[in-house]
Amino acid sequence: MKNSAFVWDPYSDQPYPIKDKAYKKYMRKKNLFDYIPLILTNIFIYPLGVLVSPFFKGKNENSKNFFGMSVYLEKGEEQIGLIKELGVKKLLVRMPLSDIENIDKYVKFAAKFKECEILINILQDRIHIDDKELLKSSLIKIFEKFGNITKEFQIGNAINRTKWGFFSVKEYLDFYKTAYDLRNDSFKECTLLGPSVIDFEYHFTIRALFSKYNIFFDKVSALLYVDRRGAPENKQMISFDTTKKIDFLFSLASLSKRSSNKLVITESNWPISNTATYAPTSETECVSEDDYARFMLRYYLLALGTKKVETVYWHQLISAGYGLIDNRKGIRKRSAYEVYKTMLHFLDDAQILKYSNSNDLYVLTCKKDNKKFDVIWLSSKKKMPVSDFSIVYDMFGKELKENIMISENPIYAYHK
Q: What is the pLDDT of residues 16-74, one digit of tens each?
A: 999 999 999 999 999 999 999 999 999 999 999 999 999 999 999 999 999 999 999 99
**Residue ranges of domains in the chain, CATH in brackets:** 8-349 (3.20.20.80), 353-415 (2.60.40)
Neighbouring CB atoms inside 10 A of 3's CB total 16
Please determine, for residue 137, whether its predicted confidence score (pLDDT) is greater than 70.
yes
Please determine, for residue 1, whether its predicted confidence score (pLDDT) is greater than 60.
no
Q: What is the mean pLDDT of the chain?
A: 97
Please determine, for residue 149, whether its predicted confidence score (pLDDT) is greater than 80.
yes
- Cα-Cα end-to-end distance for the chain: 57
- CA dist list (Å): 204 to 15, 38, 220, 277: 20, 7, 13, 29
Q: What is the pLDDT of residues 155-208, one digit of tens each?
A: 999 999 999 999 999 999 999 999 999 999 999 999 999 999 999 999 999 999
pLDDT band at 3 (very low <50, low <70, confident <90, very high): confident
Q: Could you write out the three-class secondary structure of the chain? A: CCCCCCCEECCCCEECCCCCHHHHHHHHHHCHHHHHHHHHHHHHHHHHHHHHHHHCCCCCCECCCCEEEEECHHHCCHHHHHHHHHCCCEEEEEEEHHHHHHHHHHHHHHHCCCCCEEEEEEECCHHHHHCHHHHHHHHHHHHHHCCCCCCEEEECCCCCCHHHCCCCHHHHHHHHHHHHHHHHHHCCCCEEEEEEEECCCHHHHHHHHCCCCCCCECEEEEECCCCCCCCCCCCECCCECHHHHHHHHHHHHHHCCCECCCEEECCCCCCECCCCCCCCCCHHHCECHHHHHHHHHHHHHHHHHHCCEEEEEECCCECCCCCCEECCCCCEECHHHHHHHHHHHHHCCCEEEEEEEECCEEEEEEEECCEEEEEEEECCCCCEECCCEEEEECCCCCEECCCCEECCCCEEEEEC
d(C-alpha 274, C-alpha 35), whole Å: 39
